């Protein structure tokens, strides 16, 4: 009988996954494992599996799935992870998800729940796109959340507002399309396994965190 809890957080860019993972980890006493942090640590540490990852990163190449999985497994076998972990940014695709399940099964461990933080495309576009910046004083504006008083002009200095290429609706839309293409099979996979917990990701950070914690307490905590 296991007495740990392993959670995966899924969500599109802009869904607030990293923030939620940190809050929920603290609330439930789990270790927050962000693959971004693992990669950064690998660059500093540079021994064993980390050294392999490092050699790819230094060449500007994507770290292969096998190496990412090894790093994750090494991290979760550390003593501080005994009561469980919350994954943020991993698995990214079906291959990683299957490899993770297989590796956990070998240690008589498993993923308990997969929280999918659902935010509508409209809201994601609002959060990620629609940013405008003043050419003169760099004050940021947002079309919906903090528009300037006069369209295209800075409230503070009257300077011209412009959009960075990353912030245009078209670029943001493309990023979301890529994300959903990769994630749709994951959502299917965990739904079939009876592990998916869909959470409404719209609203304040604390509200969403409350929904996640309540959902997990109801369904996954024995």
Question: Is 154 a residue that touches Zn ion (CB under 5 A)?
Answer: yes
Q: Which is nearer to Zn ion, 95 or 156 (by Cβ)?
A: 156
164 is catalytic: yes
Question: What is the Rg, in whole angstroms, of the alpha carbon atoms belonging to the chain?
Answer: 20
- The pair of structure tokens assigned to 186 is 């994951």
Distance of CA 85 to the CA centre of its chain: 14
Q: Please report how close the Cβ of residue 150 comes to Zn ion at its closest, in angstroms.
A: 12
Indicate the residue among 15 and 154 with the shorter CB distance to Zn ion. Answer: 154
The reply to whether 156 sits near Zn ion by the rule CB under 5 A is yes
How far is it, in rounded angstroms, from Cα 86 to Cα 29?
10
The number of CA neighbours under 13 Å toward the Cβ of 218 is 8
What is the nearest approach in angstroms of Zn ion to the Cβ of residue 158?
7
Q: Decide: is 51 part of the binding site for Zn ion (CB under 5 A).
A: no
Q: Which stretch binds Zn ion (CB under 5 A): 34-42, 43-51, 147-155, 176-184?
A: 147-155
Catalytic residue among 40, 107, 164, 174: 164
Known active-site residue 156: no
Per the annotation, the verdict on 122 as an active-site residue is no
25 or 154, CB closer to Zn ion? 154
- Is 211 assigned a catalytic role? no
Residue 134, interface with Zn ion (CB under 5 A)? yes
Annotation marks residue 113 as catalytic: no
**150 scored as a contact of Zn ion (CB under 5 A):** no
Contact 32, 75 (CB under 8 A): no
Q: Residue 136 interacts with Zn ion (CB under 5 A)? A: yes
For residue 150, say if its preceding peptide bond is cis, omega within 30 degrees of 0.
no
Phi, psi of 9 (to 5 degrees): -105, 125
| Structure tokens, 84 | 């469980």
User: Which of these ranges, 47-55, 70-78, 159-167, 207-215, lies near Zn ion under the rule CB under 5 A?
Assistant: 159-167
DSSP reduced 3-state for 94 = helix
Taking residue 76's Cβ as centre, other Cβ atoms within 10 Å add up to 22
Given 43, 78, 137, 205, the residue binding Zn ion (CB under 5 A)? 137
When asked if residue 153 is in the footprint of Zn ion (CB under 5 A), the reply is no
Q: Is 105 exposed, middle or buried (0-12, 13-18, 19+ CB in 10 A)?
A: exposed
Closest alpha carbon to 171 in 201, 119, 131: 131
Catalytic residue annotation: 17, 92, 131, 164, 175
List residues near Zn ion by CB under 5 A. 134, 136-137, 139, 154, 156-157, 159
């Amino acid at each position: 009988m296991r007495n740990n809890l392993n959670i995966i957080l899924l969500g599109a860019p802009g869904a607030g996954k990293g923030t939620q993972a940190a809050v929920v980890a603290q609330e439930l006493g789990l270790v927050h494992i962000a693959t971004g942090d693992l990669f950064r640590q690998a660059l500093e540490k540079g021994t064993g599996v980390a050294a392999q990852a490092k050699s790819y990163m230094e060449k500007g190449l994507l770290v292969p799935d096998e190496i990412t999985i090894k790093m994750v497994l090494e991290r979760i076998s550390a003593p501080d992870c005994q009561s469980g972990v919350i994954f943020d940014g991993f698995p990214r695709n079906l291959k990683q998800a299957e490899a993770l399940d297989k590796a956990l099964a070998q240690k008589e461990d498993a993923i308990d729940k997969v929280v999918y933080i659902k935010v509508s495309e409209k809201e994601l576009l609002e959060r990620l796109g629609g940013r405008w910046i003043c050419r003169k004083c760099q004050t940021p504006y947002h079309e919906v959340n903090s528009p300037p008083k006069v369209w295209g002009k800075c409230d503070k200095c009257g300077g011209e507002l412009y959009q960075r290429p990353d912030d245009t609706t078209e670029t943001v839309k493309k990023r979301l399309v890529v994300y959903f293409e990769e994630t749709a099979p994951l959502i299917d996979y965990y739904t079939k396994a009876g592990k998916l917990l869909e959470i409404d990701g719209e609203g304040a950070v604390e509200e969403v965190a409350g929904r996640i914690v309540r959902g997990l307490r109801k369904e996954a905590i024995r």
